[in-house]
Amino acid sequence: MSDLVIKNATLSNGDVVDIRLTGDRIVEIGEGLDAEASIDASGLIALCGFVDLHTHLREPGLEAAETVLSGSRAAAMGGYTAVHAMANTNPVADNAAVVEQVYRLGQLAGYVDVYPIGAVTVGLRGEQLAELGTMAKSEANVRVFSDDGKCVSDPLLMKRAMEYVKQFGGVIAQHAQDPALTVGAQMNDGTVSSELGLTGWPGVAEEAIIARDVLLAESLGSRLHICHLSTARSVDIVRWAKQRGINVTAEVTPHHLLLTDELARTYDPVYKVNPPLRTATDVEALRAGLADGTIDIVATDHAPHPSELKECEWDAAAFGMIGLETAASVAQLALIESGLADWSRLEQVMSLKPAEIAGDSDHGAGIVVGAIANITLVDPKAKRQISNPTQSKSSNNPFEGFTLPGRIVHTFFRGRLTVRDSRIVEQVN
Ligand SMILES: [Zn+2]
């Protein structure tokens, strides 16, 4: 196996080092290291490869919007080395056959590790538990389960699911949305929805489910993960739960860290998303929660849709936005440019903590000797104009036209470059 040295990289703690890779491992970190092959990383920050706990890859069934391959390439461009693929495919990933199919497609693509998330209930219908144990024992080794897109709203089912996965160290990732409070809902319930005449989606629809489920987790002694927090009160509830010692983790999406419901005034459905964009006060609370550790991770909720489902009337449009290729830039803007946190915190919320929540042992170890060489090199000073197209097959990109800080320059996945000089490596296998 030949060596490669990444020269003069800045770690998240500020140290400038050389990093030697042999095969798929980091074997040495120091100064003045040399090898036949080297990459000059002067001015670049080396972070542990990002891990997304919430990605929609759309395969099987919706390949016009995204495939495991196209989504994996988008992820690599965003600095990711692992993604967790949500279960709302067609057929639904509620059994061993589908999760194994997605897992193998990920290996075949070879750009990131694709870890399938299993559905909590059969067909995401919220009526009976899916084959959680069979999915856990399958080749895909599923540990995260979610009906994302839908809430596990029946408290008895949610209780049984949490009890069941506790036996093998699994976790339920809840999409918190009380269906009775969101019938026909189109956007955040507030001043803007009243002015536009669009049906409002109250924050309490999310907050009430989070409150219920942290109490369930406490009574069962189970752990719980909450998807895409969107309101200030959701942050307050999770903060309260953590102070009480409840084993809960939470995520926030890039779009909820930057965008607000004012964008609905454009009537452009690219800004239609579930949960909806909220107010500037909510954005501020989400950023503060992410900086102070109440919110554990940034997860993209990358949700590709074909143009016919987004380029239409607001009411008819699908919910969701793409985000894999812009997430790190938005996190840099929300955490670092804002002065709220540093690169070490960004590395935690984009890599270390999501890997820990999901139990991904090959990811999230940091840039340390002996770890698998999953490394993202970021140019922190770059400014880039966001434009389509991207590696994703879909173009529902809410940041199009924005100028965002930072650029992923190189991504190493298991010791091999998947992105070089900000371009996808065409052949990785
Ligand atoms: Zn969701």
CA–centroid distance, 301 to ligand 1, in Å, is 7
Q: What is the pLDDT of residue 1?
A: 67
Query: Is 301 an annotated catalytic residue?
Result: yes
Bond preceding residue 91 cis, omega within 30 of 0: yes
The Cα–Cα gap between 90 and 61 comes to 5
CA–centroid distance, 147 to ligand 1, in Å, is 8
Q: What is the pLDDT of residue 2?
A: 79
Rounded mean pLDDT of 97-104? 98
The Cα–Cα gap between 315 and 196 comes to 12
Tell me which residue has tokens 């495939």.
Answer: 67
Q: What is the pLDDT of residue 228?
A: 98
Q: Is the pLDDT of residue 411 over 80?
A: yes
CA–centroid distance, 400 to ligand 1, in Å, is 22
Q: Is the pLDDT of residue 137 over 70?
A: yes
What residues have their beta carbon closer than 5 A to ion ligand 1?
148, 175, 227
Q: Is the pLDDT of residue 41 over 90?
A: yes
C-beta of residue 238 within 8 angstroms of C-beta of residue 206: no
Q: Of 52, 296, 301, 360, which is the active-site residue? A: 301
Task: Give the rounded percent of residues in the chain with a pLDDT score beyond 70.
Answer: 100
C-beta of residue 171 within 8 angstroms of C-beta of residue 223: yes
Q: Can you list the domains of the chain with their CATH numbers? A: 3-45+372-424 (2.30.40.10), 49-358 (3.20.20.140)
Q: What is the pLDDT of residue 29?
A: 98
Q: What is the pLDDT of residue 248?
A: 98
Give per-residue pLDDT as tens, 54-80.
999 999 999 999 999 999 999 999 999
Q: Is the pLDDT of residue 429 over 90?
A: no
CA–centroid distance, 151 to ligand 1, in Å, is 8
Task: Give the rounded percent of residues in the chain with a pLDDT score beyond 90.
Answer: 98
Rounded mean pLDDT of 138-143? 98
C-beta of residue 297 within 8 angstroms of C-beta of residue 251: yes
Give per-residue pLDDT as tens, 151-196.
999 999 999 999 999 999 999 999 999 999 999 999 999 999 999 9
- Strands 423-424 and 416-420, sheet pairing: antiparallel
The pLDDT-based confidence of 375 (bands split at 50, 70, 90) is very high
